[in-house]
Amino acid sequence: MDPNTDNISDMISLFGAAAGVGIAVVSIDQLVLYHNREVARLYKNDETLDLRGRTLADLFPPAWVEQRARILREIAAGGPPVVIRSIMHGRQIEATLRGIEEEDGVVHRILTIVHAGQTPDDALPGGVRVVESDTIDLGKLHVLTSRELEVLALIGCGHSAKEIGSILGCSHRTVERHRDAIGKKLDVQDRVALASIARAAGLELVDAQRRRIDVGKTPPTQTRLAEPKPQAPVRPTRPAD
């Protein structure tokens, strides 16, 4: 894709139809101009929501918006594309932001392509800057303490209780107590299932220290995307008498 193209329809056609891929266009003053259903699902946990015509400040907590607004300004000023890795609703997502250059050579809009999970660093295109989100929306994991998040992150990495104790500077019995507490809070007792939850969230030790936010629900004034209209059945043409 040529990031300098002015035809948003071409971009939407290129990325918007791919399963599991969200695409959005946002102005540099943070107004949502376009998005598909996957964007609403990943960011707001409801694919039917219509976020168009709303600003990021209308939709997300100030701490979340502050970092994104700064990145939008940097890209508009000629900075490179940015990959933002974050946790929303307890799952890991990755968004790639790049400027759309207008005919006058100025960037007024930003194209965002987002998906669940994380692209390995060596598979990222050259020239992009990787940024970790300052904030974290833990979803159902919000009930965990910072220490429990650390234990869960290390469980997701496949470490044993003894290894986790060594990393965190505590006994393996203490780790086991934390693991039991995590299981009770999440209603999951199987270690493999806990590891799966940690990997889906992309949890790392540092995440336990990030600022927690709650994206919550969109205000009740929010409209919803219309359902696609079903095609009318084609009736056979009656032959002339």
Long-range contacts for 62-65 (Cβ within 8 Å, ≥24 apart)? Answer: 63/134, 63/135, 63/211, 63/213, 64/133, 64/135, 64/137, 64/213, 64/215, 65/30
What structural domains does the chain harbor?
A: 8-137 (3.30.450.20), 140-211 (1.10.10.10)
Q: What are 65-78's pLDDT values in tens digits?
A: 999 999 999 999 99
Q: In what order do the strands lie in the sheet with 21-27?
A: 32-35, 21-27, 107-116, 91-101, 82-88, 129-132
**Residue 114 predicted with pLDDT over 60:** yes
pLDDT at 8: 60
**Residue 217 predicted with pLDDT over 50:** yes
**Residue 4 predicted with pLDDT over 50:** no
> Side chain identity at 213, as an amino acid letter?
I
pLDDT at 178: 97
**CA neighbours closer than 13 Å in the CB half-sphere of residue 78:** 1
Which stretch of 5-19, 42-56, 160-174 has the lowest confidence by average pLDDT?
5-19
Which stretch of 71-85, 95-109, 117-131, 206-220 has the lowest confidence by average pLDDT?
206-220
pLDDT at 189: 85
How would DSSP label each residue in 29-84?
TSBEEEE-HHHHHHHHS-TTB--TT-BHHHHS-HHHHHHHHHHHHHHHTTPPPEEE
> Quick one: how many helices (H) and strands (E) in the chain?
8, 8
Which stretch of 44-48, 66-70, 170-174, 233-237 has the lowest confidence by average pLDDT?
233-237
